Chains A and B, each alone.
Chain A
Amino acid sequence: MNDMNPDSYVTPDGRTIGGKVLEMRNITLRFGGVVAIKNITFDIREGEIRAIIGPNGAGKSSMLNVINGFYHPQEGEIYFHGEKRKPMKPYQIAKQGIARTFQNIALFKGMSTLDNIMTGRFNHMKTNFFLQMLWKGPAEKEEAENREIVEKVIDFLEIQAIRKTPVGALPYGLQKRVELGRALAAQPRLLLLDEPMAGMNVEEKEDMSRFILDVNDEFGTTIALIEHDMGVVMDISDRVVVMDYGKKIGDGTPDEVRNNQAVIDAYLGVDHG
């Protein structure tokens, strides 16, 4: 599996994974003298669930921030759908079809669940300022069309009952779900999830795992996720990148990674005795 040459592969559960959606080549990211990411190369393929794991401070979140443009790496190249990506602002990258959720929930607290998810449709709504001013006509029509897509997301995530509740008043697990909904509403080509299950109990984790698998299955969305719960990661992901101290120490299927000596050392420590 470490061989990156074939254009597609078939997962054990029979899904065919396509070509490279995103390719990171020799990425190095420094903050002053601190090297957060050291010369990392990996790819994410069409339709797969790709996990990035590693101990705390390994540079996983920095990697997501590089992908969606909050950080700009000093060295290396990023290819999105085969094209080399110029340095871009996060909102420009969003327009290319990359959506994400955050480790600490980043919802719009003053808005309802519906409005939060509707905001996810921002890039798909085109009516200009003056049509918005008049509302009647194109703006209202566009709003209704996008509302329909949002309602599908709401149905999918089973959050119909909290449609009009301000998100600040929701429990943690539901907030995570709304945030996933907001990212889904954008109909991204690549969905980045930063610790989607952090702080959840077992039941909530099971629900969230189900949603992630269903998103991948029903919409064919390519997903890259960071997660600490090894059980979950090994169960749901197709391929795993392992990072430690900013370096890539493993890359492959869950089974390959599980048996990788460097990975075991990083997680369990090395016997110095």
Chain B
Amino acid sequence: MFYREAGDYKKSYAEDSQTFPLKLDRYAYYALLLVAFLVVPFVINDYWAAAVLIPFLIWSIAALGLNILTGYCGQVSLGTGGFMAVGAYASYKLMTSFPELNILIIVLLSGVITAGVGVIFGLPSLRIKGFYLAVATLAAQFFLIWLFNKVPWFYNYSASGQITSPKREMFGFEVTGPSASAEAKYLFILVLVVGLAWVARNLTRGRIGRSWMAIRDMDIAAEIIGVNPLKTKLVAFAVSSFYIGIAGALFFSVYLGAVEVGEAFGILKSFLVLFMIIIGGLGSILGSFIGAAFLVIMPVMLKNIMVGYFGWPIDLAAQTELVIIGFLIMLTLILEPHGVAQLWRFIKQKLRLWPFPH
């Protein structure tokens, strides 16, 4: 009844094409930002930060990245884990080689380096499409993991083969290292997430986003309009890898602190991010967040219910969790291939007309 355009007049094309055309949506978004910045840091504790909030934010960045490549540009990638590893190792090498460098710059530079690597592995995309491209990116995944395992230079010749994140500060607050507080880590990542989501939205709403979607939907027609397919795909690979590299750098330096490459960035992580964007919604910024929230929060919730409430043994709970997630992925693919974001759009459409459906 209150959720509709009536009375919310648009006076310019800019107003008409804004991200949240409805007032209510706009206010809800501002309220969410206020809560995230001003309320959550005061109530956050180590459990919530480590189990839910920080992984959710980091995986959101990765999902945004993959969604740009797969959801918007239509290039399927199974190399997400590998590219996250590039981001992680780039940040490690940068942190240890340039101890004076600010952590924010290190994280952004890691993204830039990953973007470069992404472009190289994106080159085959001019010739191969769909399933075959997925296999080519799978090769990237295995090659990169192998590389970081085999070349000791990447882990500074440490005996264990692990990389460990040194202590770094931002405005005098530690954000990496074992003694960093939950609030500092959370806020540091939150700023990056908000900035990156904003940039993703800007890129996908304009000329560049339309050229990505044109390549995704009908590459021949895109070409006769003037879209250069190779350049467009490589830009998508670069932007996507930039996001994924940042996610990898944060996952290693802020979240885990110490990383063994095969375990932290294996093929399962590639699938995890792919599932996130499938469940959340391909070609949707909101979908990336929904998908990440879903696959981060649901296992925690299921575990709490099954172990904490029903008192099941942990291994049984872990197996059941996999079954439930697998089932949900199948269900989404069959019932709503455009993911939860599409469901949300549908609900909004209904809400606009409520309570009179005609």
Contacts and interface: CB of A to CB of B under 8 A. Distances in A.
B210 A122 contact: yes
A119 B206 CA distance: 9
Contact of A91 (B12, B205, B217, B227): B227
Interface stretch (A40-48, A72-80, A100-108, A222-230): A100-108
Contacts of B224: 68, 90-91, 93-94, 99-100
B229 interface: yes
Given A108-B213, A110-B283, A147-B13, A134 B227 contact: no
Interface string B187-212: 00000000000010011011110110
A94 B217 contact: no
B169 interface: no
Residues of B contacting A: mostly = helix
B14 A144 contact: yes
A109 B215 CA distance: 11
Given A108-B218, A109-B218, A140 B226 contact: no
Contacts of B229: 91
A147 B17 contact: yes
B225 A143 contact: no
B186 to A, nearest CB: 25
Contact of B13 (A89, A123, A143): A143
B217 A123 contact: no
B226 A91 contact: yes
Interface residue tally on A, bucketed by range:
35 or more
A106 B221 contact: yes
Interface residue tally on B, bucketed by range:
20 to 34
A99 B225 CA distance: 7
A29 interface: no
Contacts of A182: 225
B293 interface: no
Contacts of A89: 223, 228
Q: Which of B17, B199, B214, B220 has the most CB of A within 10 A?
A: B214
Contact of B206 (A99, A110, A120, A132): A132
Contact of A144 (B13, B221, B225, B283): B13
A232 interface: no
A193 interface: no
Contacts of A102: 220-221
Nearest to A95: B226
A95 B218 CA distance: 19
Interface of B: 12-14, 17, 199, 202-203, 205-208, 210-211, 213-214, 216-218, 220-229, 235, 283
By Cβ-Cβ distance, the 4 closest A-B pairs, closest first, are: A94-B226, A108-B217, A106-B221, A135-B202
